[in-house]
Each structure stands twice: as C-alpha cells, then as structure tokens.
A and B are shown apart, each in its own frame.
Chain A
Amino acid sequence: MKNIGDKLSVLIFSSIILIPLFLALDRLVWVAGFDPVRWFSSIEANHLSQGSVGFTFLQAILSTIATIAIGLPIAWQLGRYKWRGTGLMRAVLTMPFVIPSIIAAMGFLAFVGPHGMGLRADQDTHLWTLIIAHAWFNMALVIRFTEPVLSTLDRDLEDQLRLLPGGKTFWGKLKNLWIPLLTPSIAAAACMTFIFSFTSFALVRWITPLESTLETVLADVGERAGILGYEEYTNDLVLASSLIQFTVMLASLWLMSWLQEKRQSLLPQASENSNLKPNPRGLLILVPGLFFALAPLVTVAWSSFRIPVREQGELTYHWGVEGWIEAWSGGYSNTGVGDALLNSLGYAGITLIVALPLGWSLAKTIHELELSKSKWARILDVFTMLPFAFSAVMIGLGVLLGILKLDGELNSLWLLPVLPHIMLTTPFVVRIMLPAFRGLDPSYDEGARILGLSHRARFWKIKLPLLRGPLLVAITFTLAMSLGEFGASWVVARSGEWDTLPVLIDSLRSRTGWDPLIQPTAAAAATTLMLITLLLFLTVERFRPKGEGGMF
C-alpha cells in the first residue's frame, strides 16, 4: 500500500461498511442490554422467528446441493464440448444470476402458481419451489467456476492419464483427475451459492411466506429496533439474527477465499482449444437447461400481456397492452416505470462512479499485498467481501439505525439510498478486478517503465486498455446489481418519488384489492427491468475474458 489513493480507498470502504454497522450495533446493544444468552434464546422463544435458524440452514444447504446438481452437468457440457453457439448458450444459462431476485420470484410464482402449472397447491411445495428458484438463480456460479477449468484443460493431461495405471478405469480417472481438479471450483461455487441462499430475501419473502429466514426476521422487526422502551424484544432478535448470520457468512467467506486461492493454482494454464466434438446426448442436458433458465423470464413477459377477466366465479384471459400502458403512466403507483427507471439509472450511475474506482483500488491493493506475500492480503480480501456477509437487509438496517439516527434530515436525502448500493456492488468490482490484476503480466508495466512512460501514462495507455474486458464486466455488473437491488432499498428508502424499479414492482405486487390490471402492470414493469438487465448482460458477454476463471 504505497499509494495514498489506495490507503484512502481502504479507509473509505472501511468507513462505509463499518461505521453504520458499528453505530447500529452500538444502539441495539444499548437498548437491549448486553445479554447474549437472552439474545440468542430469543429466536426460538419468539413466534415470528421460531425455527428460522433451522429453516435458513435447511433451505441454504438444499439449495446448494440442488444448484450443484443442476449446474455441474451443464458446465460439463459447455466446457468439454464445442457446441455451435456455445457463447450464446453460456450467456443464457448464466443470465439468471444478474436478474433481479424480485423478477425471479414473480416468474416462479407465475410459472408454478394456480394460474400457471398449478404445482404450488400446498405449503409442502413451497420449500421445493424456493430451492429450485435458488438453483435457477445460482447455477451461473457453478458454470462460471467450473467451466473454465474444463474448457482450458490441456488434453495431454487426460491422454497421459489413460496410459498410466491410475487412469485405466472410469473411477480411476475420476479419482485421479476430475475430482482433484474440479473440487476446489465446485466447493467455491457451493460456498457462494450457500452464502447467497442463506441471505436470500425477495425469493423467500414471495415464495415461502410462512417460513422465516434470519434475513426476513431482520426485515420484519428491524425497523422497530433501537428504540428505548418500545418493543424492545426486537433488539434481541435483530442482534441474534445478525450475529448468527454474520458468523456463518464470515466462515463461508474465509473458506471461499481459501478455496479461490487453491483453485487459482489448479487452474490449468490455458491450452488453446481443447474442446471435444459434442455428443448429441448432451442436448438432453443443455436443452432442458436452457428451458429452465428462460422459463421464469418468459413467463413474466408473457403475463404482462395476459389480462385476467372475472366473470362471476370464472377466470378467463384476454391479451392486451393495458398493463404496459398503466405501468408507464404510473396510474397505480407514485411513479411511472419511466420515472422509476430514471431513478434506478441515476442511482446506478452514482453507484458506478463511486464503486468502480473504489473496487479497482481495493483489488489493486490486495494484489500488491499478495505480491509482497503479506498476510494482510487474505484479511483485506475477506474484508472486501464482508458486504456479502452482512446481507442486503443488514446493510439497509445499518444505514437506517446507524446513520439515520444521527440526523433525521438525512432521511429525505436523495443520495442516501445509494450508500447501500455502493456497499453491495463494491465487492463485486473487487471480485472481478482481482483475478484480472492477478492475470496481468507484470512485464507489461515494467516494459512501459523502461520506455519512460509516467505513472499516469502507463495507467491510461497500458493498464486501462489491457484491463478493458474485466473493467467492462465490472461496470455492467455494478449497473445490473444496482438496478436490481431490492433488500437494502426496501429497508432504507421507500420514499415515493425516488422509488427504484424493483421497489416499484414490489409495491405494485403488494397492492391490496382486486384489480385485473395489477398483475399485468407489475409484470410489465418487471419485463422492462429484465430487458435492460439482459441488454447490459449480453453486451458485456462479448468482452468477457476467455477462460479467465473469475468469479462472475
């Protein structure tokens, strides 16, 4: 950390992350009193959180298993074989990860609900719907992590093994090549999936309304916490839920960071083109996979044109664009889709301006620490992932309880909702830029220094253009994540005219009373957000560095 700017970035990031959370924690403990035994026992002692720890673990573990089970065969087919249109297939199959979770929830409900496939007839099917939805959402992680290992594997390694006693049998190959080669990648993907499922908010909120996870408990009671003499039991719940969540997430992230390093060392040095000729049977995996990836999205778009008509006890449908008209005119909400979209884009833009340089600088600092073999590298690495551990709702609460307490006027501050966006997107920038820095040949910089290029000239003429690919990926990711952010926005800011698109969609969905146009209107708003996300995603797919094995 030689550079002042880098020190500053670590400082800024630390303050953005730690100050609100520290203040919030301070306040909660002040109200609740320091009594951890009571905090933790409150979870099972309270009806609204009873069983939430168990359910959070259960659904996260099952979701992780399902994600691997669905994602791995797809990654195998994509990575091992040279299909026509691999790029497009990969884009479609990994796209769900950037789709805002609220849209995913709508898609799944419409798909399995009483007016879709009718698969969600009772409470027992909720858990399965949630798990499948989590698998849908996270299968991109499995593909992104394992596919580069498979596609860049030097065929010589495989061929050599066949000639050795250890590689004669199928099990031998599995034991001696595939398992050791793929395990770190699969484990890393499993770790990330576990983290995202553990803290999933919108999907749980919509798909399993009867069950609570720690995240939904936080969302349910968080806004009432921190007030002396008023519903003080909520403080125990918030403290216990967030501390449990934080501990589990921190452990997962530490494991994740360790696995990433192990994985990096196992990542075969890219052989140019090692893909095999595909076997048509692979289509039995890819085609259902593509269908699975697209079905909820198509369902959302489709239901935006499907207007229900009630005739006494009968429900029929007609097709029309009324939903779209209502969505854009804002007849059902504080703002129309157009304004909400502008708000969302405004937030996303500001988020980008802060998160991108911040994440870049943090990634660079971590990389430099790694080069100097400092033990601080791992610590800073995990530290930058902390927002994953805090989860969107916790971050939102941190801002609410930590910052808004300082001054109520801040509540009407237009910029306030951007803060959680910055917290949540900066880690993604770091995750994307760090492998890029690691992969950048240091002699490029040295060569330019020899030629006498100044620090500034090297940055603009050499480093920036060379890192253009990952940089574009980071930009798109930041924009997509910010556009789709729901949990933190939901907690911090729902102040009417500054509604973002996901908050608008949620409030449309939550509208009480029967109106045939509500669902099409919500679906039209969701489709708009979805199309923008897709556009961003497909644009950037072209710039994604091949076989770089980055996280996202």
Chain B
Amino acid sequence: MLKCSGLTKAYSKMLFENLDLELGAGEIAAITGPSGCGKTTLLRCICGLEELDSGEITLNGEDITSVRTEDRGVGLIFQKPVLYPHLDVGGNLRLAGENIEKALSEVGLEGFATRSIASLSGGEGQRVALARALLARPKILLLDEPFSSLDHELSLRLVEDVRTVLKQRNCSAILVTHNREEAAKFADIILEIF
C-alpha cells in the first residue's frame, strides 16, 4: 500500500539517498537509528511537510509525491504532542472529525472532552494526539518518537496500547525511534538507518 522508491533528501549533508520502502496494508514498521540520521526528515517528506530532492511515493497505488500535505491522508504524531492551547480536548479532536467520545474511549480517555490542554499529563497528551490523528482516518499513521519524552514504564504501556488500537483498525504505521526495545515491541518489521 505505501511504496517509496528512490527517496533522496539532503540539507548540508546527505540524509538519505535512493531509499526504497514498502509497507503492506495494516503493517507496522519501525525505523531506528542514531539522532541526526534523517529519520524525522523522512517522515516529514512522506507526509509532505518537506519536499524531496528526488524520489516517488505512492499510497494505495496513487502517486502522492506532489499532493499537498492537507490532501495526502497521512497522519503524523509529533515528538511532543501538538495540541492547540486555545481549544479544549474536544475542540482539538473536532479539528479532525466528529465522533469524539468514541475516539477518546478508544485511547482510554473517556470523559476528557472538556478538559483543558494545560491540565493533561504527557502521556494523556500523546493519547489525545493519537485519538485525533485516528479520527482523521489516515491511510497511514507516522509516529515521530512520540514516546521519547515519557518515562520508561509509561512509554512501554503506551506503545502496547497504540499498537492494539492500530491493529484493531488495520491501520498501517511507521514509527521512528532511537529505542530498539520500543521498536521491537511496537513493530512488525524493523528498519535500521545508519
């Protein structure tokens, strides 16, 4: 379903060159590697926030290389959850879709709709971000080290929860992380960049 071929991107140094990647429906992949090796940039390229130097991305057979981010149908969860402080939890979810109670219960946050963003803990914030991302019904979800700022125990629990939700929905995903343990627990396949 997701097929990347010949992806190349360089800033002052080459980040990745001629990278190929293929992911089946409902498949979950993890990409690991040291910091600064271009993992984040790869995700940003796939969802269109950055332009590739060359290469081609297709999603469900459709070439999306030059489709606007807004129209790609790709979800992304940032390292720190991007939640809008001027809206409450429900308001944040409503940016993605309507069925917010169901989305919240799916990530274990029943009754959180009227909570303010400032009142959320780090783990809750990431769960809200996940609920919102899924509510937008992405064809594929990209996760950029979403667990790295949480403590060890919490991150392991969240890794499992997220995997469960994704599997239930048969949603494919790519996780970027520098943590191999996390990658192993989360993904079906692991890809390593150096």
Contact = CB atoms under 8 A, between A and B. Distances in A.
Q: Within the complex, are A and B direct neighbours (CB within 8 Å)?
A: yes
Interface of A: 441, 443-444, 446-454, 461-462, 465-466, 468
A450 B75 contact: yes
A450 B76 contact: yes
Given A453-B95, A461-B95, A447 B82 contact: yes
Nearest to B141: A450
Interface in B63-100: 68-71, 73-76, 78, 80, 82, 84-87, 95-96
Given A446-B49, A450-B49, A451-B133, 15 more contacts: A446-B69, A446-B78, A446-B82, A449-B68, A449-B70, A450-B47, A450-B69, A450-B75, A451-B96, A452-B96, A452-B136, A465-B86, A465-B87, A466-B85, A468-B86
B71 A462 contact: no
A444 B49 CA distance: 12
B84 A451 contact: no
A461 B87 CA distance: 9
Given A446-B49, A448-B95, A454 B82 contact: no
A448 B86 CA distance: 14
28 contacts: A441-B82, A444-B82, A444-B84, A446-B49, A446-B69, A446-B76, A446-B82, A448-B95, A449-B49, A450-B47, A450-B49, A450-B74, A450-B75, A451-B132, A451-B133, A451-B136, A452-B70, A452-B71, A452-B73, A452-B96, A452-B136, A453-B70, A453-B95, A461-B95, A462-B84, A465-B84, A465-B87, A468-B86
Among A452, A461, A462, A465: residue with most chain B CB under 10 A: A452
B178 to A, nearest CB: 19
Contacts of A449: 48-49, 68-70
A450 B71 CA distance: 8
B74 to A, nearest CB: 7
A449 B73 CA distance: 10
The 9 A-B residue pairs with the shortest CB-CB distance, nearest first, are A447-B82, A465-B86, A449-B69, A450-B76, A443-B82, A451-B96, A452-B70, A451-B136, A449-B70
B84 A466 contact: yes
A124 to B, nearest CB: 56
A301 to B, nearest CB: 38
A466 B117 CA distance: 13
A447 B70 CA distance: 10
Nearest to B47: A450
Nearest to B79: A443
Contacts of B71: 452
A447, A454, A466: residue with the most chain B Cβ atoms closer than 10 Å: A447
B84 to A, nearest CB: 6
Contacts of B136: 450-452
Contacts of A454: 70
A548 B95 CA distance: 28
Contacts of B68: 449
A468 B85 CA distance: 12
Contacts of A465: 84, 86-87
A547 to B, nearest CB: 16
A468 B80 CA distance: 23
Contacts of A466: 84-86
Contacts of B80: 443
B26 to A, nearest CB: 20
A77 B74 CA distance: 51
A468 B87 CA distance: 13
Contacts of B69: 446, 449-450
A453 B49 CA distance: 14
Contact of A443 (B78, B85, B86, B95): B78
Nearest to B129: A447
A124 B2 CA distance: 82
Contacts of B133: 450-451
Residue among A441, A446, A450, A454 with most chain B CB within 10 A: A450
Contacts of A468: 86
A187 to B, nearest CB: 33
Contacts of B82: 441, 443-444, 446-447
Contacts of A441: 82
Contacts of A462: 84
Interface string B94-124: 0110000000000000000000000000000
A449 B75 CA distance: 10
A465 B85 CA distance: 9
A452 B78 CA distance: 16
A450 B74 CA distance: 7
A465 B47 CA distance: 25
Question: Which of B47, B74, B84 has the most C-beta atoms of chain A within 10 angstroms of its own C-beta?
Answer: B84
Nearest to B93: A451
Nearest to B138: A450
Nearest to A448: B95
Contacts of B49: 446, 449-450
Nearest to A442: B49
A447 B86 contact: no
A440 to B, nearest CB: 12
Contacts of B78: 443, 446-447
B73 to A, nearest CB: 8
A462 to B, nearest CB: 6
A447 B136 CA distance: 12
Nearest to A468: B86
Contacts of B70: 449, 452-454
Nearest to A455: B70
A454 to B, nearest CB: 6
A182 to B, nearest CB: 30
Nearest to B71: A452
Nearest to A444: B82
A519 to B, nearest CB: 49
Contacts of B47: 450
B138 to A, nearest CB: 8
Contacts of A444: 82, 84
Nearest to A458: B70
A41 to B, nearest CB: 55
Interface string B159-183: 0000000000000000000000000
Nearest to A449: B69
A441 B132 CA distance: 19
Nearest to A462: B84
A468 B84 CA distance: 13
A381 to B, nearest CB: 25
Contacts of B85: 466
